[in-house]
């Protein structure tokens, strides 16, 4: 048994990097031939051949016969990580859970409403109970879950492992969610922000497919962003990249729940939108505003268009900053379609550098409400195979 990592720059280090590159390509694109792996990874055919042979011997990939362009071929796929995969994605007022096979095919899913001010223990207990019910519904046991991807609509500190803040999901503040949830289900858990998970879902199976530099805007009860750089979700040094809702757009504006003034959320979050309609429309829910706007209600149309315009100004800043190819807009407010997309695009064109605005494509999300839970499944798959790779490596 040898768990010592090879020295940087050594032949062993280069071989390990090449192995990880091959695994990463197969993980991202699914089963491929060695020729396709070479094209996607930039490695030579000989290097890919050697890496696939090593990975096959270590039990990290599986080889299966297939047909490509009418000719016989051998497909390289990830070896089983062991067990089912689970995804859990919390909203501010609900939780969506899903069970998937090792190939990431969704077997069952369910959405359950929650109190807006729920605490972590209640949320995790509810999620654990739903996962147990779902595994039973597909003829499996909760013990068969091999890995869980878990998402929260709040800042997630990847250094401390804590989630929540005093202002956003305060009931989760200071909780080591991955450790606590693993205790509920006796399975490894990986935690991320739901905007990042939605970006990952769209990257693997939706509107961000094959995009190297892009962004997913989750426009819902609040607004967040999942940033994609180099074909991977970028989380920053401590995991909190993409908190676009807390960009200051008016330093003399309203006090935000985060404690600052004039954050984007204070103008486009659900509280702001509903408060602006209270005098003329009475108490409404966000879905009511969207439904009425699509039916032609002028007041509801106006607040949605104004919100789209303000988000467009913030997105223009992102476009100027890292020049993405594609911006994908999803979340509850995206259901308003062109009512929100048109003013967002106009503001983006007006406020971004012309050359950057001209080259960025604005797209609606393809996966709808399931993007974040699909991203959670993807994260669980990565965790499962990473653990399998470590086990195989330490036994070689």
Phi, psi for residue 241 in degrees, rounded to 5: -65, 150
According to CATH, where is 3.30.420.40 located in the chain?
Answer: 84-198+373-393, 207-365
The topology (CATH level 3) of 11-79 is Arc Repressor Mutant, subunit A (1.10.10)
Q: Strand 175-176 vs strand 61-68: parallel, antiparallel, or unpaired?
A: unpaired
According to CATH, where is 1.10.10.10 located in the chain?
Answer: 11-79
- The angle at the Cα of 227, spanning 162 to 31, to the nearest 5 degrees, equals 95
pLDDT at 232: 94
Q: What is the CA radius of gyration of the chain?
A: 22
The answer to whether 290 and 336 are in contact (CB under 8 A) is yes
Distance CA 195, CA 214 (A): 13
pLDDT at 83: 76
> In the 8-state DSSP scheme, what is residue 360?
P
Q: Strand 175-176 vs strand 223-229: parallel, antiparallel, or unpaired?
A: unpaired
pLDDT at 231: 93
The answer to whether 88 and 95 are in contact (CB under 8 A) is yes
Distance CA 308, CA 268 (A): 8
- The CATH number given to 207-365 is 3.30.420.40
Secondary structure of residue 98 in the 3-state scheme: strand
326-344 pLDDT per residue, tens:
999 999 999 999 999 999 9
Token pair of 22 as six digits? 């091959």
Whole-prediction pTM = 0.82
pLDDT at 168: 75
Q: Would you tell me which CATH number, out of the four given (3.40.720.10, 3.40.605.10, 3.30.420.40, 3.20.10.10), belongs to the domain 84-198+373-393?
A: 3.30.420.40
Number of neighbouring beta carbons within 10 Å of residue 57: 11
Show pLDDT as tens, one digit a residue, over the chain (396 residues).
344 445 555 677 788 888 888 888 887 777 889 999 999 889 999 999 998 888 887 777 778 887 777 778 888 877 655 579 999 999 888 899 999 988 788 999 999 998 877 888 989 999 999 999 999 998 888 888 999 999 999 888 888 888 867 677 888 888 888 999 888 888 999 999 999 999 999 999 999 999 999 999 999 999 999 999 999 999 999 888 999 999 998 999 999 988 899 999 999 999 999 999 999 999 999 999 999 999 999 999 999 999 999 999 999 999 999 999 999 999 999 999 999 999 999 999 999 999 999 999 999 999 998 999 999 999 999 888 777 666 555 544
């Amino acid at each position: 048994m040898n768990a010592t990592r090879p020295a940087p720059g050594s032949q062993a280090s280069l071989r390990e990097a090449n192995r990880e590159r091959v695994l990463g390509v197969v993980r991202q694109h699914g089963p491929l031939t060695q020729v396709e792996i070479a094209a996607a990874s930039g490695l030579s055919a000989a290097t890919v051949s050697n890496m696939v042979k090593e990975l096959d011997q270590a039990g990290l990939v599986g080889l299966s016969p297939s047909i490509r362009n009418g000719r016989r071929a051998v497909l390289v796929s990830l070896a089983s990580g062991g067990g089912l995969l689970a995804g859990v994605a919390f909203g501010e007022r609900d939780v969506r859970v899903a069970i998937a096979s090792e190939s990431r095919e969704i077997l069952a899913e369910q959405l359950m409403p929650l109190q807006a001010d729920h605490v972590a223990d209640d949320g995790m207990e509810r999620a654990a109970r739903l996962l147990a019910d779902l595994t039973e519904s597909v003829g499996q046991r909760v013990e068969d879950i091999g890995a869980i991807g878990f998402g929260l609509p709040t800042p997630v500190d990847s250094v401390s492992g804590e989630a929540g803040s005093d202002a956003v999901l305060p009931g989760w503040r200071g909780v080591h969610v991955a450790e606590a949830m693993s205790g509920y289900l006796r399975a490894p858990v990986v935690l991320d922000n739901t905007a990042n998970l939605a970006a990952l879902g769209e990257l693997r199976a939706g509107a961000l497919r094959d995009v190297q530099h892009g962004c997913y805007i989750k426009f819902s009860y609040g607004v967040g962003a999942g940033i994609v750089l180099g074909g991977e979700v970028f989380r920053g040094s401590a995991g909190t990249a993409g908190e676009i809702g807390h960009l200051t757009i008016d330093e003399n504006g309203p006090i935000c729940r985060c404690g600052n003034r004039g954050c984007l959320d204070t103008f486009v979050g659900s509280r702001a939108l509903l408060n602006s309609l209270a005098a003329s429309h009475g108490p409404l829910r966000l879905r009511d505003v969207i439904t009425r706007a699509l039916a032609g209600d002028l007041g509801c149309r106006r607040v949605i268009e104004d919100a789209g315009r303000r988000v467009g100004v913030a997105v223009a800043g992102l476009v100027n900053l890292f020049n993405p190819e594609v911006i994908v807009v999803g979340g509850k407010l995206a259901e308003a379609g062109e009512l929100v997309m048109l003013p967002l695009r106009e503001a983006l064109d007006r406020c971004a550098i012309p050359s950057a605005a001209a080259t960025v494509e604005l797209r609606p999300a393809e996966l709808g409400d399931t993007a974040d839970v699909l991203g959670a499944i993807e994260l669980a798959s990565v965790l499962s195979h990473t653990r399998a790779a470590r086990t195989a490596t330490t036994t070689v």
